[in-house]
Amino acid sequence: MADESEIDDVEAERHRAKMEKRKAVQDAEVAAKTVEKGLLIVNTGPGKGKSTAAFGLALRMLGYGRRVGVVQFIKGAWHSGEQDALARFGDLVSWHTMGEGFTWETQDLKRDIAAAQAAWAKAQELMADPTISLVVLDELNIALRYDYLDLDEVVAALKGRREGLHVVVTGRNARPALIEAADLVTEMGSTKHHFAAGVKAQKGIEF
C-alpha cells in the first residue's frame, strides 16, 4: 500500500477525476431507481449464514423502530442467541419457534407436517398484521423441500402479501417457483466449513 507521502499531485488529481466520474455514474443509477415496495427475499444455498443474514435485516428494521415477526419452521431443538437478543426489543418482536427439529430427529412424518402447517398458519397471521414491517420465515425452504406444505399455496400467499410488507425466507434448496416469485435471491456458497475439521456447533456461532 502506498504511503501518503509517496502520492504526487498528478496521481492524486488522476484519482480524483476517476472517482468524480464514478460518483456521477453511481448517482445517476441510484436516481433512476424510483420504485418502493415490500420485498420477498430468499436466502438459500449450502453455505452458512442464511438465517444470520435474515436476523441482521431484522435488527436493521428494529433500529428504525419497526416491528418484526419471526417464525422458525424446523429449528426448535436448540435455543438460539438471536432469540434472546431480539427479545430485548420487547413488543417490537413477535417470535414463534414452531419446529421440533429436522425430520431425521423426529422420525415422524405426520408430526412434522402438523408442525409445519401450524407454523405456516402463524406466518400468515403475522403477514396479515399491519403493524409488522418484516416477517422472517426461517427454514421455510426445508418445509417446502420435504413437501410438508403445499408449494403453490405458499408461493401464492407470499406473492399476494399486503403492500409494503417485507418477507425473508431462509433454508437450503429453495424451490424454483419461490425463486421465480422472489425480488431478491442470495445463494450462500460453501467454500470452507469448520465442521469438516471436526469443530462442533458452538454457542454464539451456530446458535
Q: What is the CATH number of domain 36-190?
A: 3.40.50.300
Q: Could you state, in order of their start, the residue ranges of all structural domains in the chain? A: 36-190
Matching residue, cell 442467541 = 81
Q: How far apart are CA 95 and CA 203, in angstroms?
A: 20
pLDDT at residue 34 is higher than 80: no
For 191, phi then psi, to 5°, come to: -85, -40
Q: Give the pLDDT confidence score for residue 100 in this predicted structure.
A: 73
pLDDT at residue 168 is higher than 70: yes
* Cα four-point dihedral sign 23, 188, 144, 60: negative
pLDDT-based confidence at 104, cuts 50/70/90?
Answer: low
Q: What is the pTM of this model?
A: 0.86
Q: Give the pLDDT confidence score for residue 159 in this predicted structure.
A: 98
What is the rounded average pLDDT of the residues 137-156?
Answer: 96
pLDDT at residue 151 is higher than 80: yes
- Which secondary structure element, helix H or strand E, spans residue 9, and what is its range? helix 9-32
Amino acid at position 42, single letter: V
For 147, phi then psi, to 5°, come to: 60, 35
pLDDT-based confidence at 200, cuts 50/70/90?
Answer: very high
Q: Give the pLDDT confidence score for residue 4 in this predicted structure.
A: 61
How many Cα atoms sit within 13 Å of 171 on the Cβ side?
23
